[in-house]
Amino acid sequence: MNSSHKLTGALKARCPNLRLTTEAEVCARLGKDWSIAPSGRPAAVVWPDNTDEVVAIVRAANELGLSLVPSGGRTGLSGGATAADGEVVVSMDRFNALSSVQPAGRLIDAGAGVVTAQLQAQAADDGFFYPVDFASSGSSQVGGNIATNAGGIRVLRYGMTRDWVAGLEVVTGTGEVLSLGRGLVKDATGPDLKQLMIGSEGVLGIITQTRMRVTSQPPNQQVVLLALSSIDAVLPLFAACRRHLQLSAFEYFSDTCVDYLLNHRDLARPLDDAAEHYVLLEADEDEAAVLALFEHAAEQDWVVDGVISQSKAQAEELWQYREGISESLAPMRPYKNDVVVPVSEVGRFLTELDKLVAEQYPDFSTAWFGHVGDGNLHLNILPPKGMAHSDFSRECQRVNELVFALVDQLGGSISAEHGIGTLKRPYLHHSVSTTEISLLGALKAQLDPNGILNPGKLIPDHG
């Protein structure tokens, strides 16, 4: 009997009704995420139907010496959901039950495998709004959003996923089931343990069920695309917008991004003349307030052109110029980095890092975009034509040290919303002290003493 049959037999003996496969193509597909981290080599994939089966899987893994990789929509970019060393992938796809909104408490119950867009749609159908949104909302899952504390385009107004989690059911690395939070507005019974699970990337427990908060539908929103006179205009423009408008998003992207987007999608250039820098903002205001802000920005020579949406369809079209960027850059296989610096340092960071890359890598070009309103920038370094991807990847490891050292110097963080996973784990010290890392390791040792949950991710394995 080969090893895969032994594994199947051992798991089936402990979980008789468990859905399981060792088929190579399925394992390769479900053993990787959207990152460039080594992946696609799990020993098996399992699809539990309920929390009891997750408990049985965890306990079996402890007995058999197996490692488990929790798996949601696998849209992560830091290697947090990869299986490269014979782990068992635990897919949460079948945890897809979704309730209606409880109107009085503004709560909605969702299995960890519910797709983010489905949660958003259910909230809207019930007359409410789930505001956490990003380009991968059509395929990411709620459990994965929580495990990485996903952010997105409206953090400026609505915060991160962390701010919308009212309760969690989690299976620890010993097979204990924790019910954390009851959806109460007030609860003074000690530290909020569910917050420890948010952003923990599956190393402390497997999220099975969630209770999420929703809010009122936003009023009519104006979407505005502006061409800037220079990068130095970003911060004064943002300050003026925040002073005079109820902003929900303030997004930046460079003309390099626009060029790739226009080649990838059937879109016209957004404005008559190209500019080097653009901002797309969304505000809960009437057109008059937005137009007054636009006129003020033009008088200050911050903007040289712009367009204000006149319909919902036009607003959606304008958003394409921001949300389609990642997809359009993907064929280039760029080096991607998700960092955050204090908002006041955004201009300096962009300028200094562009200069640094130009000096160190004169053949590389950069494509910038990001949520400038909250200091979160997405750096994409593009390889020159003809350069082998392996060579490019090796050079990008050297880029990491330069990028993260600058981020550290400016008081930022090496990850804003994509997590740490495997790719940023070696650089965690740039943002987290050795004492904090030690405490995280001690916490993992308590909740997962045999180290079976998502090994090699986020924090150093304990000995």
Question: pLDDT tens per residue, the chain (463 residues)?
Answer: 346 677 788 888 888 889 999 999 999 999 999 888 888 899 999 999 999 999 999 999 999 999 999 999 999 888 999 999 999 999 999 999 999 999 999 999 999 999 999 999 999 999 999 999 988 899 999 999 999 999 988 999 999 999 999 999 999 999 999 999 988 889 999 999 999 999 999 999 999 999 999 999 998 889 999 999 999 999 999 999 999 999 999 999 999 999 999 988 888 898 988 899 999 999 999 889 999 999 999 999 999 999 999 998 999 999 999 989 988 998 888 888 889 999 999 989 988 988 888 888 888 888 989 898 899 988 898 888 889 988 888 888 888 888 899 999 999 999 998 899 999 999 999 999 999 999 999 999 999 999 999 999 998 654 4
> What are the C-alpha distances in Å from 273 to residues 69, 169, 296, 421?
49, 52, 21, 41
Closest CA to 224 of 209, 210, 244, 208: 244
Question: How far is residue 355's CA from residue 347's CA, in Å, rounded to a whole number?
Answer: 12
* pTM of the entire predicted model: 0.92
* CATH number, domain 333-427: 3.30.70.2740
Q: Where are the domains of the chain?
A: 3-94, 107-216, 222-327, 333-427
Name the class of domain 3-94.
alpha beta
Question: How far is residue 272's CA from residue 194's CA, in Å, rounded to a whole number?
Answer: 50
Q: Which two tokens stand for residue 226?
A: 């502006």
Asked if domains 107-216 and 222-327 share a fold, the reply is no
Question: How far is residue 365's CA from residue 350's CA, in Å, rounded to a whole number?
Answer: 13
Contacts of 453 (CB under 8 A, 6+ apart): 67, 68, 70, 173, 202, 203, 204, 205, 206
Beta carbons within 10 angstroms of residue 445's beta carbon: 15
Q: In what order do the strands lie in the sheet with 44-47?
A: 19-21, 44-47, 88-91, 68-71
Out of 2.60.40.10, 3.40.50.300, 3.30.70.2190, 3.30.450.40, select the CATH number for domain 222-327.
3.30.70.2190
Burial of 40 by CB count in 10 Å (0-12 exposed, 13-18 middle, 19+ buried)? middle
Out of 3.50.50.60, 3.30.450.20, 3.30.465.10, 3.10.100.10, select the CATH number for domain 107-216.
3.30.465.10
